[in-house]
Structure 1
């Protein structure tokens, strides 16, 4: 599923899930991503779910954190665009802090 769809529909996902994105590409709204329960591993030695490992996806953030990022963006700007949402997401990922939307 595209990252754009995930950011626009974040409330549909379970708090226990996490977002996994490709390890080897620059992320954009069209980046294909997966929502996976990070604890869904085949055995305790595995740190990454098999689907993520097989598709070279890395854990990025948990769904609760992403919900907070989206909520914060909408609190600052009631009419957020997809570009506002990806910018807020990437800013948080890089800085571990909420963006200030101007």
Structure 2
């Protein structure tokens, strides 16, 4: 189903998406928990950085591919294993850390 969702809801309900889906977020704004993005079926496995390969819904809403849902699930699982009661901010911080560093956030 193609619809915009708030990132907070995506992170908190990650299990409702297929492992093969992809996360798209705005390419021209600083992301927050209230950023609207979309989870779309994986149609970009063979993409070669060609903007014509971006799903139509993503193009219409100025969204770019961010991560596969399998990676986002891994991020959520990792931070949840480290901290029993994760807040929305914990999830968001772990998500941004992974996106920026291609590595899981480690809580010390």
Q: Equivalent residue of 1:78, what SS?
A: coil
Q: Which portions of structure 1, spanning 4 or more consecutive aligned residues, are displaced by more than 6 angstroms? A: none
Shift of residue 48, structure 1, vs aligned partner: 0.5
Distance in 2 (CA, whole Å) between partners of 1:58 and 1:27 is 12
User: Residue 57 of structure 1: which of 63, 75, 86 is its match?
Assistant: 63
TM-score normalized by the length of structure 2 = 0.87
Distance in 1 (CA, whole Å) between partners of 2:98 and 2:107 is 12
TM-score normalized by the length of structure 1 = 0.92
Distance in 1 (CA, whole Å) between partners of 2:38 and 2:105 is 24
User: Residue 16 of structure 1: which of 3, 15, 20 is its match?
Assistant: 20
Which structure 1 segments of 5+ residues have no match? Answer: none
Which structure 2 segments of 5+ residues have no match? Answer: 45-49
Post-superposition CA distance 1:13-63 (Å, at most 9, x none): 0011110000000000000010001317xxxx7310000011110000000
Distance in 2 (CA, whole Å) between partners of 1:36 and 1:86 is 20
